[in-house]
């Protein structure tokens, strides 16, 4: 097992006895075999399993070329997408580069994300930021019909065409969508925009290592070869037997705790650069497991800031959650804290050491306080935040999620619940074909 990511279960001793882990072995391996042998429900969405070694190398080269072109001719890249067509790219960029990426001195374009909400205020702000600057657009939608990104694309396509002409737009609009079908694919082919593929057998929330994530990530200047290398290493490691497999053990632990009444998992990190990764995790596990009135509720916090908001509840409130704490061993940058001979602020007990040591003591102190206070703590030790480690971690969560979902007895790869809001929204907006439903909803609204 690689040193890039390690599961530390030492704080769980009070909550899970060794025989309980042993007792979960058979069930977990059955769930794992269901994934590996592709015999379970949703088995046509397992393309992510071998993706780190079995991906389209020609397209991979085109992704790098497109990223280089965007870097050369654009100050801003507009990334349009929602859910699985958005979160992974942003999460990886913020973790690999910075949550303040746009403010960094760099030779890559600023990146703004639109089409992940329907706020006119937000869209107007991004439009005004783009004024007088060169832009490119990467619109990402597997179905090609999702309302939020489709609407934002209509607005930005118009901006690009007005600024650069129809021919110029061909150099600046990149469409990531289905290989053959959908409105976006048809439009792209008609207009001559370069297209990238969301493979049929990979659902949105498992698609970060396809063109969905890779083009924005490459455009931000990240090393996508190393990202795939880390994922490929994880693919080998997380196919190992239960005893040596942290992804399987993590899936087992989550299900043991769930069955003991812990109904929510809080993914905790001690670095704001990890915050969007927790959003990606929330979608991955929430959309995969929240079905048939079952599933752990995935939530997240960034410490120490959230210790000053949620810390009280976690320590003393209703005992409904366990924490999975991401412990980044080597931060991207450290800060040496100098001694102050006057010590007017009384902080010399913190000095003469790197700030990461202080952050780590906060982690250790909190893990002990919470686990002694009735909140089980799993620790995920992450070596660093380089591309290789991040690729490894992404695959870890994907594999654990699939196994955990089958252990729970649900299909981890569909999302039937997402359709309900869409149906109501379309009806209320008067989309053709929804007339009867519109009347029923308006009656409920008293209109």
Task: Kindly report the length of the chain.
Answer: 447
Quote the least distance from Cβ 185 to ligand PA5, whole Å.
11
Examine the residue annotation and report whether 370 is marked as an active-site residue of this protein: no
Residue number, 143 or 304, with CB nearest to ligand PA5: 143
Mention every residue, 6+ apart, whose C-beta is less than 8 A from residue 426. Answer: 147, 434
For residue 211, give the nearest of 224, 225, 230, 197 by alpha carbon. Answer: 197
Indicate the residue among 117 and 305 with the shorter CB distance to ligand PA5: 117
Q: Which stretch binds ligand PA5 (CB under 6 A): 141-149, 309-317, 355-363, 426-434?
A: 141-149
The first and second tokens of residue 101, run together, are: 């990426």
Q: Tell me which residue has tokens 């409904």.
A: 320
**Residue 109: how many CB atoms within 10 A of its CB?**
24
- Structure tokens belonging to residue 10: 């030492």
Minimum CB distance to ligand PA5, residue 92 (Å):
15
Is 289 known to be catalytic? no
Residue 366 to residues 88, 266, 388: CA-CA distances in angstroms? Answer: 28, 14, 28
Site for ligand PA5 in 80-99 (CB under 6 A): 82-85
Tell me how far the alpha carbon of residue 375 is from its chain's centroid: 25
Two tokens, residue 435: 């007339």
Which residues within the stretch 380-399 sit at the binding site for ligand PA5 (CB under 6 A)? none
CB 210 within 8 A of CB 195: no
- Which string of x and - marks every residue 191-230 that binds ligand PA5 (by CB under 6 A)? ------------xxx-------------------------
Q: What track of x and - describes contact with ligand PA5 for positions 349 through 378 (by CB under 6 A)?
A: ------------------------------
Of 230, 252, 225, nearest to 241 by C-alpha is: 252
For ligand PA5, what does the binding mask look like between residues 405 and 424, x meaning CB under 6 A? ----------x---------
Helix, strand, coil proportions of the chain in percent (round to 5)?
A: 55, 15, 35
Q: Are 231 and 79 in contact (CB under 8 A)?
A: no
Name the closest residue to ligand PA5 (Cβ): 204
- Residues in the interface with ligand PA5 (CB under 6 A) total 14
Among 71, 90, 142, 235, binds ligand PA5 (CB under 6 A): 142
Under rule CB under 6 A, residue 282 binds ligand PA5: no
Q: Which residues of this chain interact with ligand PA5, rule CB under 6 A?
A: 82-85, 141-143, 146, 149, 203-205, 287, 415
Residues tagged active-site? 287, 308, 422
């Amino acid at each position: 097992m690689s040193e890039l990511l390690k599961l530390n279960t030492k704080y769980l001793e009070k909550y899970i006895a060794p025989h309980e882990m042993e007792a979960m072995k058979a069930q977990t391996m059955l769930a794992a075999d269901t994934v590996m042998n592709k015999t379970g429900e949703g088995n046509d969405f397992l393309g992510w399993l071998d993706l780190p070694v079995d991906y389209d190398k020609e397209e991979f080269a085109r992704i790098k070329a497109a990223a280089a072109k965007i870097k050369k001719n654009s100050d801003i890249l507009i990334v349009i997408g929602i859910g699985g067509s958005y979160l992974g790219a942003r999460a990886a960029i913020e973790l690999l580069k910075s949550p303040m990426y746009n403010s960094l001195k760099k030779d890559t374009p600023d990146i703004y994300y639109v089409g992940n909400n329907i706020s006119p205020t937000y869209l107007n702000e991004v439009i005004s930021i783009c004024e007088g600057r060169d832009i490119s657009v990467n619109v990402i939608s597997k179905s090609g019909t999702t309302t939020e990104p489709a609407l934002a694309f209509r607005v930005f396509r118009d901006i690009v065409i007005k600024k650069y002409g129809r021919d110029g737009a061909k150099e600046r609009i990149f469409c990531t969508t289905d290989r053959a079908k959908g409105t976006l694919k048809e439009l792209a082919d008609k207009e001559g925009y370069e297209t990238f593929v969301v493979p049929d057998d990979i659902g949105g929330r498992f698609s970060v290592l396809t063109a969905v994530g890779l083009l924005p990530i490459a455009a931000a200047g990240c090393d996508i070869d190393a990202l795939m290398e880390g994922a490929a290493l994880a693919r080998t490691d997380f196919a190992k037997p239960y005893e040596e497999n942290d992804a399987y053990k993590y899936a087992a632990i989550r299900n043991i705790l769930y069955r003991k009444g812990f109904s929510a998992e809080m993914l905790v990190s001690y670095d704001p650069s990890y915050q969007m990764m927790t959003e990606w995790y929330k979608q991955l596990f929430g959309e995969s497991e929240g079905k048939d009135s079952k599933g752990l509720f995935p939530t997240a916090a960034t410490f120490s800031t959230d210790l000053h908001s949620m810390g009280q509840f976690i320590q003393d409130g209703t005992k409904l959650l366990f924490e999975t704490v991401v412990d980044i061993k080597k931060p991207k940058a450290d800060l040496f804290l100098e001694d102050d001979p006057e010590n007017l602020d009384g902080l010399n007990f913190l000095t003469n050491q790197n700030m990461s040591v202080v952050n780590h003591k906060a982690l250790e102190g909190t893990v002990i306080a919470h686990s002694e206070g009735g909140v089980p703590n799993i620790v995920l030790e992450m070596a660093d935040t380089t591309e290789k480690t991040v690729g490894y971690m992404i695959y870890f969560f994907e594999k654990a999620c699939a196994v955990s979902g089958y252990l729970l007895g649900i299909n981890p790869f569909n999302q039937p619940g997402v359709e309900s809001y869409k149906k109501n929204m379309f009806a209320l907006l008067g989309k053709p074909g929804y007339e009867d439903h519109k009347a029923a909803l308006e009656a409920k609204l008293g209109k």
